[in-house]
Structure 1
């Protein structure tokens, strides 16, 4: 029956797409371990307020962590937006501060539009640095310690799924975005394309967090609805990315690489 054939086709496509993410996630897990080790070594040299914040986050006390982060921001007065940007950049690079917590506070402190602007600028700057560092340092280290044949195979695995796989990983809030940025830096795609995919993938969830923070004590149902619709639309685009690319190719808006 046609319905069963379509279901099997979608099932095979889903397995194929998910399998394409595995090498990226393995690399991200390795990078996450390295970043956490680096942060552990740097923690004694950080300001006391930041050390306390990290300790509370490690202990899983997000309420206390949110209060500490709020105090850290409020203590800087008119420089609060700049400090928020710096924390957002650090969160992307190495700090294990939940991005959800920063998004909520951004909306609470700055309102929806200004908070979203600050959050996305911070994410963009941090992602650009992470991708650039991954490209600058990663290739040198890999070329020094990894055989060329293995390196070529790794490059094929992380690029075979195209930018759509990275877009979907950035879209899903549970994945380690910072480590995925470093992995993305090892690919051959232009930096601007990788940063654009990163920001587009993160925009729906960040917009919802900012909205919820800006409307503390109010109804967050609208934000949840927008998030669900965005996730569903992105999942369809990811699953049928070949058809979407073919459509744009026929319109002359894309080219086959």
Structure 2
């Protein structure tokens, strides 16, 4: 009779399995994010607002370098308004807006890719709560529309939204398109405000800051108006579940 016993994996195979396991990759993501945040705290990119762009990096390549640095900073949770204002102060309205938008898409792609590769497999089984499952269904089924709405609402933590979206089954193309389109209004407003920061009484600066204030208030009003509906829907679901049980 032939021996059909499966040989036990050797040390090398066990090591490879451990390195490829979902929880090891999630731990690696946490370590990478922690290192990125620590590097940002040490480099202090906000000093650009006070010191200006380094003279040795000036020229036509400066906006490109800024866009790359912008993307890395947003992936490390640096607030985008600070970077947008810096883009306007350094390069003016049109060039600054273009550099900031490229950096926005680049940083979103880095965050989404890292979360999808290193965190999705470990975190998806944890989506057990009603709110988490509902958000996952919305992002997975209506990726472009849902992400566009999130990008248009100011005040939401940008990097956190990137990593949360990566846990869903949203595709790359809807995510990046919604990010590029939805980030235009507020990005341009902050950049224009930064480009006219030296003349805070100018009509352009007042219009840009007014747009930021109005959109922020509108987003808060929409969230407040949807709150009773959300609570009523949650209560209705609970009653239905109790009645079915």
TM-score by length of 1: 0.59
Aligned counterparts, 1:97-112, within 5 A: 97-112=78-93
Q: Deviations over 1:168-195 (max 9, x none)?
A: 4333443221121111122222212112
Given candidates 37, 44, 51, the residue that maps to 1:53 is 44
RMSD: 3.7
2:72 pairs with 1:87: no
Runs of 4+ in 1 over 6 A off after TM superposition: 232-240
1:217 Cα shift?
A: 2.4
Residue in 1 that maps onto 2:209: 224
8 Å contact from structure 2 (residues 138, 146) kept in 1:
no
Shift of 1:135: 2.0
Indicate which of 179, 188, 201 corresponds to 2:160. Answer: 179
Query: What is the total number of aligned residue pairs between the two structures?
Result: 190
For residues 102 and 153 of structure 1, what CA distance do their matches in structure 2 show?
32
- The CA distance in 2 between the partners of 1:139 and 1:160, in whole Å, is 16
Which runs of 5 or more structure 1 residues have no equivalent in the other structure? 1-30, 55-61, 241-257
Matches within 5 A, 1:77-226: 77-78=58-59, 79-94=61-76, 96-142=77-123, 146=125, 150=128, 154-160=132-138, 162-163=142-143, 164-218=145-199, 219=202, 220-226=205-211
In 1, the alpha carbon distance for the partners of 2:66 and 2:116 equals 26
Provide the C-alpha distance between the structure 2 equivalents of 1:158 and 1:180, rounded to a whole number of angstroms. Answer: 12
Q: State the distance in 1 between where 2:57 and 2:160 align.
A: 29
1:239-254 aligned within 5 A: none
Distance, in Å, in 1 between the alignment partners of 2:104 and 2:37 is 22
The normalised TM-score by structure 2 is 0.61
- 1:103-156: CA deviations, max 9, x gaps? 11211221111111111011112112222222222223336xx47x84998454
Gaps of 5+ in 2: 1-25, 227-245
Residues in 1 aligned to 2:108 and 2:167: alpha-carbon distance in whole angstroms: 13
Residues 88 and 102 in structure 1, CA contact (< 8 A), matched pair in contact too: yes
Q: Which has the bigger relative contact order, CA under 8 A and spacing at least 6?
A: 1
**Structure showing greater Rg:** 2
Contact 1:93 1:127 in 2 (8 A): yes
